[in-house]
Amino acid sequence: MNPLTNVKNITKLGQQDLVGNKKTSWHDEYKDSAWIFVGGLPYDLTEGDIITIFSQYGEVVNINLVRDKDTGKSKGYGFLCYEDQRSTVLAVDNFNGSKVLGRILRVDHVANYKAPKDSKKVDEDTRKLRKEGCAPKAS
């Protein structure tokens, strides 16, 4: 599906939440994941730039900016994990469809984030975070 169509569909879901009489939101389907997908990123943004932008809705605890294996350049999309899952709702509702440096962002929930395969460069904290995740633990 076209990325701009996805942006419109996610925006439409948010609008339906505002006017609907439902007791639950479409966001509730993702209550066990603190990860979001971010697409349409300008290629010259660094992980630090992205964290700075997205930290206005919560503390970012992990980011995976997908890069070309040969050149190391950003592919324009990535995954971001918040400390608190409720921040994902704010990020999806407020950043989806917004423009950053002339590019339209696509921001959506991720139900089951799969971390990239471990490489030799991954530190122990990152390895643990990838294995255990960063969503709140069910009690």
Q: Where are the domains of the chain?
A: 1-14+33-111
Return the closest-CA partner of residue 57 out of 95, 27, 19. Answer: 95
Tell me, what's the pLDDT at 38? 96
Q: What is the pLDDT of residues 15-43, one digit of tens each?
A: 666 666 666 676 778 788 899 999 999 99
Residue recorded with tokens 């339209």 = 104
pLDDT value of residue 33: 86
Amino acid at residue number 4: L
Query: What proportion of the chain, given as a percentage, has pLDDT over 90?
Result: 48
Higher pLDDT among residues 46 and 128, named by residue:
46
CA distance 114 to 20: 33
In tens, the pLDDT along 35-71 reads 999 999 999 999 999 999 999 999 999 999 999 888 8
Q: Which CATH architecture has domain 1-14+33-111?
A: 2-Layer Sandwich (3.30)
- How far apart are alpha carbons 56 and 51 in whole angstroms? 9
Q: How far apart are CA 94 and CA 112, in angstroms?
A: 22
